Structure 1
Amino acid sequence: MHHKVVIAVVGFVLTIVAAVFDVIGFIAPYWSWIDKSVSISGTVINLEHNEGLWRYCLTIVNVTSCGSQGDRDLGSWFTEVQITETLGLLCLLAAVVVLFVGIFVCKDVLKWVGIGCLTGAETFIVIGVRIYKQNGSSLRTDNTDFAFYFVIVASVFAFAAYACLGGYTYMKYRYDAFTMEIAGINLPTFVGFVLTIVAAFFDLIGFATPYWASGSLTVVNIDANEGLWRYCQTGSGTTECISTGDRNYGSWFEAVQAMETLGFLCLIAAVVVVILKLFVLKDKPVLKLVGIACLAAAAAFILLGVIIYGAKGTSLQTENLHFSFAFVIIAAIIAIVASVLFGIDK
């Protein structure tokens, strides 16, 4: 298969993945989830409330009742969220159809319409998320759940697909540039190698530094920050740090640590494998496939960890995300791009 077609197919697959994530986030009634206990006539009752774009559910004493969001008069801002997310999903579905036609039927359709649909999908999804966070009540924005984060992940995959199709468009007219060599290494592979190292560097910072969340506890005048492994508090000019293992976050935090550890190890493995392929075992094509698999696995594990942290973290954590959290997401995106570049080369 020609390199240009491979890039188009990768963009098509990423678009399908984005559509799957967005469909789940669009339908599932888990944009927010609240679990609290209330006292009624001296009896403590556990209440659970979850809602999505279209449905809300209330569970009292293991009895669940659900209704339509349209019956709740949430205001015009919520209608705007529904509209923008609907347009985002329609753009993604249109992109799937257009790219299928563009790749397998009429190639001329692919270049502009597919990229336009993906651009529209990204824009609408992000706008909807922003409206929800800015206008939703604190009970919503402090307790966002997996469906909310699934639409965000969908926008990330849509961006990756957009990058692939942009590369396809460029290669269609400038393919000679991709046959260039640097130090005897084809340009796509060389760029992929550099991006792999960059991804590992970003992930190392996000993995090691205690700044997944950072904020101020104004009541006691204390600044606090935490990462995957350390929690620190600063007050009166003195900083004290402890292990996050001593704070008893629960199994969800251990799951985040496990996913991010696996992602980091996969990135390190990718760096080692790529170095072996480029400079030591040049005649072993299987190493390229191993490198691509390591990069794909790294991105998947990192993003899973991010989703769990965003869905299960407390409001103090999810409302005060800091640079370490952003760095691991950047590392995942770069890893995806690097895997694509390795895939298009011979």
Structure 2
Amino acid sequence: MGFREASKFTRIAFGLAVGGFLTDIIGFPSPYWIVGPFSSQGLFQECALYGCFSLPMDLMPGWEKAVMAMEVLGFLACLGCFVLMVLYAHVKNDQTILQTMAIGLAFAAAGLILLGVIIYGAKLSGVTFGWSFGMTIVSGLFLIGVGALNIVDKFSSR
């Protein structure tokens, strides 16, 4: 029971889980969701020539709080999926409950992350989106791949 004994699908899904976790942990908290000539803005702070600052929560519109909540919950689900994939791929290849829980968390994380991105993009259409916005989208797509490959692996081994 180890990574070498894991199926091909599990190993690829593990690689996608690593990619999804890394792109999410870099993308969602960074202040480059929107970029302009002299400023940039993220979910948690805004930066300009004179420095970065955070807006108070009571001044934020409700949709922005919802996006923040979805992205944080999506990150936590992504973290849980990553931990379960490490356990399943490296330690316990015979424990299908770990794989089943990783599937659920991968799809939950992808749904939350992509829903937050969709709301943010719809509310702020017409602006220039930055690299961290794109990385967050890629993270959601990686997590869809993790869930899909785990489903294929789960039903191909029978």
Q: Could you say which residue in structure 2 is the equivalent of 1:49?
A: none
Tell me the CA shift for residue 182 of structure 1.
Answer: 6.2
Structure 2 CA distance for aligned equivalents of residues 193 and 200 of structure 1: 10
Aligned to 1:191: 12
Change in Cα spacing, 1:322 to 1:247, as seen in structure 2 (3 Å) is farther
Alignment of 1:1-346 (within 5 A): 183-216=4-37, 223-234=38-49, 239-245=50-56, 248-313=59-124, 318-345=126-153, 346=157
Please, what TM-score do these two structures have when normalized by structure 2?
0.89
The higher radius of gyration belongs to 1
Identical amino acids, percent of aligned pairs: 35
- Structure 1 window deviating more from structure 2 (279-288 vs 241-250): it is 241-250
Which segments of 5 or more consecutive residues in structure 2 lack a partner in the other structure?
A: none
CA distance in 1 between counterparts of 2:89 and 2:8 reads 12
Greater length-normalized contact order (CA 8 Å, ≥ 6 residues apart)? 2
Distance 1:339 1:312 in 2: 29
| 1:319, distance to aligned residue in structure 2 (A) | 1.3
In structure 1, distance between residues paired with 2:5 and 2:92: 14
Amino acid at match of 1:228: L
TM-fit CA distance, 1:258? 0.5
Go from structure 1 to structure 2 and tell me whether the alpha carbon gap of 1:297 and 1:184 turns closer, same or farther (over 3 Å shift): same
Provide the alpha-carbon RMSD of the alignment: 1.8
Asked whether the 8 Å contact 1:273–1:291 carries over to 2, the reply is: yes
Summarize deviations over 1:275-296 as a string: whole Å, max 9, x none: 1222333332111010011110
Shift of 1:209: 1.0
> Structure 2 CA distance, aligned partners of 1:209 and 1:342?
30
Distance 2:95 2:106 in 1: 18
CA contact (8 A) 2:3 2:89 kept: no
Deviation at 1:321, TM superposition (A): 0.7
Deviation sequence 1:26-61 (CA, Å, 0-9, x none): xxxxxxxxxxxxxxxxxxxxxxxxxxxxxxxxxxxx
Contact 1:229 1:245 in 2 (8 A): no
Question: Does the residue aligned with 2:93 lie in a helix, a strand or coil?
Answer: coil
Counterpart Cα distance in 2 of 1:231 and 1:247: 16
List alignment gaps of at least 5 residues for structure 1: 1-180, 217-222
* Contact 1:228-1:244 within 8 A present in 2 as well: no
Measured after TM superposition, the shift of residue 247 of structure 1 is 8.3
Flag the 1:186–1:282 CA change in 2: closer, same or farther, 3 A: closer
Shift of the alpha carbon at 1:334?
Answer: 1.1
User: TM-score scaled by structure 1?
Assistant: 0.42
Deviations 1:255-291 (A, max 9, x none): 0000111111111100111112223333321110100
